[in-house]
Chains A and B, each alone.
Chain A
Amino acid sequence: MRFLLLILLILPLSAGAETVVLGLSRDRINITANFDGSEILVFGAVKREVPISDEEPLEVIVTVAGPSTPVVVRRKDKRYGIWVNNAAVEVDAAPSFYAVATSGPLEDVLLRVEDLRHKITTTRAIRSVGAPDDIRDSSKFTDALIRVRQQNGLYQLLEGVVAFDQQTLFNTSIRLPANLTEGGYTTRIFLTRGGAVVSDYEATIFVGKVGLERWLYMLSRSQPLVYGIMSITIAVLAGWGASAAFRLLRNS
């Protein structure tokens, strides 16, 4: 099932004073029993009170970031003939999901200084303070974190997928995989000119379990004893039910 999430964006853009107005038609994604990923459709427009300037064209960058958590990255080494986890680096904060969508090649639409300031690319969105002294190649661990999550569809770099019409209307869609972490997903929209950010806006989409999924999850955390007893009771009943049903089938 796909949820369409519509972000309506109106950007009144005038020389000097730029204001961003954002309308969200939907601000949460529900994880139900048959949840199989979702798609966010982001679209909007640039509103101007002056004619389109002849300077360098405007570009659009959209980022969606899941909740950040610390992550331990472990590396396997061959010890005593088998592959075991050995060195470990704790990355202080890495978003559970991160997508960057742009209207052109990233190096053209974003300057390095602006990337540093706004933390737009995946490498900047991850905060890694330091590794233990005995690990010299700690950058390999952050690279591995990005690589593994890219392979799982959790980190995406979508260069040139934002359709930008007449320097005014833009839209893009970002695919969210099924293994989403619950929490607030920050959606940011940057307008850049010549690589410099001229306007930005931020909105949050809440991703959470609903219904039975939420009830079971909450029960397992708040009443683990009850949850455990319930699980065992279901198991015992199923075991008894199956043997009783088959006895009936055989006798009939």
Chain B
Amino acid sequence: MQIYLPIAEVSVNAFLLLGLGGLVGILSGMFGVGGGFLITPLLFFVGIPPAVAVATSANQIVASSFSGVLAHFQRKTVDLKMGTVTLCGGLVGAALGVFAFNYLKSIGQVDLMVRLCYVLFLGIVGALMFVESLNALRKTRKAATSGRPTPTKRNKHNWVHALPFKMRFRTSGLYISVIPPLLVGLTVGVLAAVMGVGGGFIMVPAMIYILGMPTKVVIGTSLFQIIFVAAFTTMLHATTNYTVDVVLALLLLIGGVIGAQFGTQIGLRMKAEQLRVLLALLVLLVCFKLALDLLIEPHELYSLTPLEPR
């Protein structure tokens, strides 16, 4: 069934979009990420204009994160205070990101910038996560054979603890400066706006490795702040670019929220380290595909950008 998208102004198969949403939903439920880093490139692939894909993904992320955070509220695994601090940084970042996005769009480099951001961040995060989770897998195996649990090295002192403006985050059991959470929020906010992602794939490792938060509160807290950053990004794109396609978003999120519930069930049956290895591989795969597109000579060297009639 073909459906005409009023803002994207293209006709796409509705079941294809539902399927895309569902696929990304399953993955996001499994791994606790928004899935934006997958859905935006997939939308490029089915022929949605990049600007619409980025803005609409932000809207779709609001739905999937909201669905996810409700489950975490029930389990009390959301650090509201930490979420609010990172959110403050995130909103500023999102505003900067949309500003940068519009500037790049005007000089015709937005496509390149979005792709470069993807390659760079997916590459770094994927590689780090892959190495770390393989090590963790090896450790748990060693622990299982020697019969004693490995001591966790949380709460170790690093440069983060030397900064001023300290604040107590009870849910996370942390007493750290507010500067790192603000900066993490800011960075993720910029990326959310430029790449059309929630930024979970950066937020989650940053909270674990830089802020030293316990893993069980990280996903809930990250989802909590992503809702607001993504909603803010949606508003900015809707009011400055008019590129949020609500019909496209609706189809994606119907598939997405259903997929997410199945994904959560699958995720609960798997070991955390196994999940992280899989997520790392997935991230690296997307990164590799996008890098290839930049390196190989494109089939068509020319691209068209129609302007508003004068």
List chain A positions with a Cβ less than 8 A from chain B: 31-37, 67-76, 78, 81-85, 88, 90, 94, 96, 141, 144-145, 147-149, 151, 178-181, 209, 212-214, 216-217, 220-221, 224-225, 227-232, 234-236, 238-243, 246
Can you report 16 residue pairs joining A to B where beta carbons are below 8 Å apart?
Answer: A69-B308, A71-B304, A72-B306, A83-B296, A178-B11, A179-B11, A180-B9, A209-B6, A221-B242, A224-B238, A238-B67, A238-B250, A239-B67, A240-B67, A242-B257, A242-B258
B295 within 8 A of A: yes
Is there contact, CB below 8 Å, between A85 and B108? yes
Given contacts A84-B112, A227-B238, contact A216 B6 (CB under 8 A): yes
- A68 and B250 CA atoms in complex are apart in Å by 32
- A190 and B28 CA atoms in complex are apart in Å by 58
B95 within 8 A of A: no
B210 within 8 A of A: no
Known: A225-B239, A228-B239, A232-B234. 15 other contacts (CB 8 A): A34-B4, A69-B306, A70-B310, A72-B304, A74-B302, A76-B303, A82-B295, A145-B304, A148-B304, A209-B6, A224-B239, A227-B244, A235-B59, A239-B64, A239-B70
Q: Tell me which residues across on chain B come within 8 A of A180, comparing CB atoms.
A: 9
Is there contact, CB below 8 Å, between A220 and B70? no
Given contacts A85-B112, A220-B7, A242-B258, contact A36 B2 (CB under 8 A): yes
Is there contact, CB below 8 Å, between B71 and A243? yes
B301 within 8 A of A: yes
Chain B residues 97-116 with CB under 8 Å of chain A are: 108-109, 111-112, 116
Q: Tell me which residues across on chain A come within 8 A of B306, comparing CB atoms.
A: 69-72, 94, 96, 181
Select from chain A the residue with minimum beta-carbon distance to B5: A213
List chain B positions with a Cβ less than 8 A from chain A: 1-4, 6-7, 9-11, 59-60, 62-68, 70-71, 108-109, 111-112, 116, 231, 234-235, 238-239, 242, 244, 246-247, 249-250, 253-254, 257-258, 260-261, 294-298, 300-310
Q: Tell me which residues across on chain B come within 8 A of A83, comparing CB atoms.
A: 294-298, 301
Partner of B108, one of A72, A232, A239: A72
Q: Please count the residue pairs between chain A and chain B whose beta carbons lie under 8 angstroms apart in the complex.
A: 191
Is there contact, CB below 8 Å, between A228 and B238? yes
Given contacts A85-B303, A235-B63, A239-B65, contact A34 B2 (CB under 8 A): yes
Is there contact, CB below 8 Å, between B63 and A33? no
Q: Which of A36, A78, A148 has the most CB of B within 10 A?
A: A36
Q: Tell me which residues across on chain A come within 8 A of B235, comparing CB atoms.
A: 225, 228-229, 232
Q: Tell me which residues across on chain A come within 8 A of B70, comparing CB atoms.
A: 239-240, 243
Chain A min CB distance to B236 (Å)? 8
Q: Tell me which residues across on chain A come within 8 A of B261, comparing CB atoms.
A: 242-243, 246
Q: Which of B112, B249, B302 has the most CB of A within 10 A?
A: B302
Is there contact, CB below 8 Å, between B309 and A179? no
Is there contact, CB below 8 Å, between B302 and A232? no
Chain A min CB distance to B120 (Å)? 12
Is there contact, CB below 8 Å, between B11 and A72? no
Q: Which of B7, B300, B301 has the most CB of A within 10 A?
A: B301
Partner of B246, one of A78, A149, A231: A231
Q: Which of B235, B253, B304, B310 has the most CB of A within 10 A?
A: B304
